[in-house]
Amino acid sequence: MNFADSFALGLGGRGRLRVKLCPNERLAMILVHPDQARLYCQSAMSEAEAHQIAGGVAVVFSGACPERGSPNEDSAALIPFDATSGVVVVADGMGGTRGGEQASALAVKALRESLAEAARTGAAMRTAILDGIESASRAVSALGVGAATTLAAVEVQGDRVRPYHVGDSMILVMGQRGKIKLQTVSHSPVGFAVEAGVLDAAEAMHHEDRHLVSNVLGASDMRIEVGSSLKLARRDTLLLSSDGLFDNLHTDEVVARLCKGPLASGVRRLAEDSVQRMMRPAEGEPSKPDDLTFVAFRRAPR
């Protein structure tokens, strides 16, 4: 049974995506230490999951490509550091190479291990993230099969966030009214062309070289782009995603579905509409069946 059959997301099937708020429809356990990290590797989720982490709520969804019939090569993680800080991660194993699912899993596991060590020794979270990414890249390279993965990670400390990324997995911060406060630039020829104003964002969605990535974990010249610290307002939404989301929905479509209303409802809309676009593309709209993984986070209301 494939992704679309299993979840029937927005396709007139047997049901709709649900968000698992357990136990008893409440949020899952509060994550307060790296050893309690939630890892999502080769996931085929029928429900999104919500967890309390770093003084807020994160909702995770991850499912395999509806057409490919192979394991989900994406991974995700919620890694707490203490009661008010933690790291949210999405990694996208490179399709077309061997061991993509192994590479993305190695990435999130290396970050968990590095943060756990830092929590034990009192090292800074930023140092642990950088060390974890470098360790992951070495581990991916050591597989010896040409595997690679992108990675997007955000440290959350109280009301501040800082992005780290390698490749084309996206990080967005949006306000309640839809203002984009942070958007990472994809490490790709097309991504750099859009940033330079040489290529229009809408044209980029259909560009033949859109999926060429110039910076990945597992490469000898891997580099980590570290963004500036940003204050996260109470109603801002943080989103990390593999390219399965932004290959099927324009950025303004993503923002419109997620910036307002309950976080769980926004996640549901994104998943349903992404899969519908994959399976039933409209003329002129982007459509690329792919693994779909994203994490949305908001600070807890007072």
Question: Which pTM value belongs to this model?
Answer: 0.89
Percent of the chain predicted with pLDDT > 90: 70
Give me the pLDDT at residue 9, please: 41
At residue 188 the predicted structure's pLDDT band, cuts being 50, 70 and 90, is confident
**More reliable by pLDDT, 31 or 193:** 31
Q: Is the peptide bond before 301 cis (omega within 30 degrees of 0)?
A: no
Taking only the tens place, the pLDDT of each residue in 134-165 is 999 999 999 999 999 999 999 999 999 999 99
Predicted local confidence at residue 174, as pLDDT? 98
**pLDDT band for position 276 (50/70/90)?**
very high
pLDDT number for residue 73: 96
**For residue 109, is pLDDT > 50?**
yes
Q: CA nearest 41: which of 94, 124, 103, 131?
A: 103
Kindly give the interhelix angle for 125-142 and 100-121, rounded to the nearest 10 degrees: 150
**Which domain, by its residues, includes 12?**
3-299
* Per-residue confidence (pLDDT) for residue 28, from 0 to 100: 67
Largest CA distance in the chain: 55
What pLDDT is attached to residue 171? 98
Here the contacts of 248-254 (C-beta below 8 Å, separation 24 or greater) are 248/273, 248/274, 248/277, 248/278, 248/286, 248/287, 248/288, 248/290, 249/273, 249/274, 249/277, 249/286, 250/201, 250/202, 250/205, 250/286, 251/172, 251/180, 251/183, 251/201, 252/178, 254/172
pLDDT tens column, 55-89: 999 999 999 998 777 899 999 999 999 999 999 99
| Cα separations in angstroms, 16 against 57, 104, 276 | 22, 28, 12
CATH code of 102's domain: 3.60.40.10
> How many structural domains does the chain have?
1
Contact 128, 151 (CB under 8 A): no
Average pLDDT, the chain: 87
Residue 96 has pLDDT above 60, yes or no: yes
